[in-house]
Amino acid sequence: MRPIQATVSQHALAHNLNVVKQLAPHSKVMAVVKANAYGHGLFNAAEGLNAADGFAVLGLNEAIDLREAGFTQTILLLEGVFDARELNIAASYHVDVVVHSQPQIAMVQQASLIAPIHIHLKMNTGMNRLGFEPNAYQQAYDALKDSANVAGITLMTHFATADETLGVDKPLDTFHSATRHMANPKSVANSASILRYPITHLDWVRPGIMLYGATPVSGTPIEYFNLKPVMHLTSELIAVQTLSAGESVGYGQRFTAAQTTRIGIVACGYADGYPRHAPNGTPIAVNGKLTQTLGRVSMDMLFCDITHIAEAQIGSAVELWGSQVPVDAVAEAAGTVGYELLCAVTPRVPMKVVD
């Protein structure tokens, strides 16, 4: 068996959830576990985050899986449902749904449900993806509040720039202005706003990436927020080569040695989820020592500089990301974000859960 492995720490999940609770002690926590819990495994994450008040998912199948596994918390479908049949299934499993469009309102009004359903009514405050415009929000609310199919309504929005200089002041003011006459629970805070803007800690907060130990704020490491990495992607050296000056390694000769260089060949490639576009110099650790990748990432292998790690040999441990090598550092080098790397780990990589 290839030595590559992803390890998921439930202790780190619980720790990061506790950070959220300490930051927002008066809010309920809706842990976002969409996209297979950002690549960590839905049940792996849900068990580690079992102290959360709710779970947010994308697909109805994920919601059903959580219910059938015995999770009793609030479960929310972040994009709502796409046809009336799904709405009835959601009602039968006591799953909350986001409503963000007029057709979804009509669907709720016209459905014959076995039980009323709780709605999270979404406002568009600048993201311009989903949600009702602020000047149409009251009408959408009125259309739902008296329906026999609606058990209750939570008011929600999603910030576009909570992680950037623009911040949340303008969209938050827009949201509060449009909902000032509504006494319903409110849900606005994502990871970045949980960490940066206590004013957004309303009835619910919705942490996502911060639960998995990656930063939602570019340029700010997780240690600053007292977060711990949850996933450790590790492998081993499966070969060692020595390049003379002028020799290259890998496809396209993207690295050519200027002097004698020891190269470690790592059992990990883009078919495992490592970014193919990671350049020379992307951080990596071998035998607990930081070094850098060299050459082009292959489908099943990548290469690193072990010239200064004399003890490195076939079988030496490699950390692609984890405690020594932050996933955000790999992402920054590759011109992407930690979210993408965590979600991109492929099914062929064995995943082990540890306490």
Residues with a known catalytic role: 34, 251
Chain-centroid distance, C-alpha 91: 27
- Please count the residues of the chain: 355
C-alpha pair distances (Å), 133 with each of 64, 124, 234, 316: 31, 5, 46, 56
At CA 190, angle to CA 188 and CA 194, rounded to 5?
95
| Strand 283-286, strand 289-294: pairing | antiparallel
Q: HSE on the CB side for 83, CA within 13 Å?
A: 1
Among 44, 30, 33, 54, which residue's Cα sits nearest to residue 355? Answer: 44
Instruction: Please give the Cα distance from 306 to 289 (Å, whole number).
Output: 9
Measured between its terminal Cα atoms, the distance across the chain in Å is 24
At CA 276, angle to CA 251 and CA 245, rounded to 5?
40
How many C-beta atoms surround the C-beta of residue 12 within 10 A?
A: 21
Query: Do the Cβ atoms of 113 and 163 come closer than 8 Å?
Result: no
Query: Do the Cβ atoms of 123 and 132 come closer than 8 Å?
Result: yes
Query: Do the Cβ atoms of 13 and 209 come closer than 8 Å?
Result: no
How many C-beta atoms surround the C-beta of residue 110 within 10 A?
A: 11
Instruction: Please give the Cα distance from 317 to 166 (Å, whole number).
Output: 42
C-alpha pair distances (Å), 25 with each of 30, 177, 220: 13, 25, 23
Query: Do the Cβ atoms of 81 and 100 come closer than 8 Å?
Result: no
How many C-beta atoms surround the C-beta of residue 24 within 10 A?
A: 20
Q: Residue holding tokens 């439930």?
A: 10
